[in-house]
Amino acid sequence: MRMPPFELHLPESLDSAMTIAGELADEDCDFDWIAGGTDLLPNYKWHLNSKPHVISLAKVSELSTLEPTHIGAMVRLQALATSDSCHPLLRQTSGTIASVMIRRSGTVGGNICLDTRCFWFNQGEEWRRSIDWCIKCDCGTGADCRVISHQNELCVATYQADLAASLLALDATIHLASPDGSRSLPLAEFFQEDGITRNVLKDGEMVTHLTLPDDAEDWQGDYQKLRLRESWDFPEAGIAAAWKIDGDGNLDGLRVASTALESIPRLHQELADEAREGWAGVESVNSLAVAVQKAVKPVNNTWFPPSYRKKMVRVLTRRALAPLERVEAAN
């Protein structure tokens, strides 16, 4: 497929990446970061919102650190899936992403910043022309959203990356850098409920790494994913749960997060806290699963109908929480 024209920059350190980003900003030139390219390049091949400049992070070695509580943005998903020095929940989750070949290229940073997806949008140019485009790539026609028409300017494309749910359940912090400096924020505050802007990254800003709290190893968890073909499909719904069991074998902490159901992944902390207070094994598993199902609002822009995905949320949550069926609340 014909690639749109762009100029590639290949910095070899974080500093020079920042310098190039700063220079492009000064010249008012739009650019995209490229990490593994497994999301950006298919989108570019379809001529979806390509930019005149692309800065590759492939040679920036500082971003590839992988330690139990520190995950560099350029850590490859396959490295995460086979590493002994990462949290078991992240190992399990990254092992479910795409196929082994895509995991060899795809990175953690690219997965977190994955563009939102929609079956009216992730299509070739002819196809999109035939539906007169849509807000996310309107080609100057002022086209409406094809999923929810006559609403407003909001694009409701779905965030279909897996890792975010598990990282939310492990209470991760995300670290960002830009030519103006760096900042850190809880991962839950990184995402923005808008299929076009997606997250709080400012122009020229990038993700450098994620960290987990020091007590992350005391937390166990599970990730459950619904997809069309097990070999490589994107999640149609994903539920991550993480919990902490105290010395007496009772439930001392619980987090549940969902992904692939809305424009952002969501941490359902209030629901989890409520359930944990009077935790009563199977009963609580079932009621929390129903509560999470009620909390998510999938729309009709992926392969499975939203009603089915919503129903499966209950099933996936129950499966993820199955190890807690015989556990009681901590006093």
Partner 1 sequence: MVRIRVPMLPAPGELPWSASVNDTEVDIHVESNAILLDVLRDQVGTLGVKRGCDMGTCGCCSVLVDGEPRLSCLMLAHEAAGCALTTVEGLADGHHLHPIQETFTTHGGSQCGFCTPGFLVVISALLEENPEPNEAEIKAAIDGNLCRCTGYQQIVDSVRAASMIITSGKKTADATDPMPDPHPGMPTVEVESEELEVVPDE
Ligand X SMILES: Cc1cc2nc3c(=O)[nH]c(=O)nc-3n(C[C@H](O)[C@H](O)[C@H](O)COP(=O)(O)OP(=O)(O)OC[C@H]3O[C@@H](n4cnc5c(N)ncnc54)[C@H](O)[C@@H]3O)c2cc1C
Binding site for ligand SF4 (CB under 6 A): 118, 120-121, 134-136, 145-147, 155-157, 195, 301
Per CB under 6 A, 124 contacts ligand X: no
Collapsed DSSP state (helix, strand, coil) of residue 39: coil
Tell me the residue type at 275: A
Measured from the Cβ of residue 142, the count of other Cβ atoms closer than 10 Å reads: 8
Q: Which is nearer to ligand SF4, 221 or 298 (CB)?
A: 298
* Residues between 172 and 231 with contacts to partner 1, criterion CB under 8 A: 231
CB of residue 117 to ligand X, shortest distance in Å: 9
Give 54's Cβ-side CA count (13 Å radius): 18
Q: Which is nearer to partner 1, 58 or 295 (CB)?
A: 58
Per CB under 6 A, 194 contacts ligand X: no
Per CB under 8 A, 47 contacts partner 1: yes
Per CB under 6 A, 35 contacts ligand X: yes
Which of ligand SF4, ligand X, partner 1, none lies near 29, with the C-beta cut-off 5 to 8 A by kind? none
User: Cα-atom radius of gyration of the chain, to the nearest Å?
Assistant: 20
Contact residue for ligand X among 98, 156, 240, 316 (CB under 6 A): 98
CB of residue 133 to ligand X, shortest distance in Å: 20
**Interatomic CA distance for residues 202 and 288, integer angstroms:** 36
- Report which of 36, 45, 35, 39 is spatially closest to residue 6, judged by C-alpha positions: 45
Contact assessment for residue 321 and residue 289, using Cβ atoms and an 8 Å cutoff? yes
Size of the site for ligand X (CB under 6 A): 34
- CA dist 43 to 46, 47, 125, 316, Å? 5, 6, 11, 30
What distance separates the 2 farthest-apart alpha carbons in the chain?
63
**Interatomic CA distance for residues 257 and 171, integer angstroms:** 10
CB of residue 31 to partner 1, shortest distance in Å: 13
Which of ligand SF4, ligand X, partner 1, none lies near 134, with the C-beta cut-off 5 to 8 A by kind? ligand SF4
Helix (H) or strand (E) holding 183: strand 181-186
Q: Which is nearer to partner 1, 132 or 215 (CB)?
A: 132
In the complex, the residues that contact ligand X under the rule CB under 6 A are 32-40, 42, 57, 73, 77, 97-98, 102, 105-107, 109-111, 113-115, 161-162, 201, 206-207, 232-235
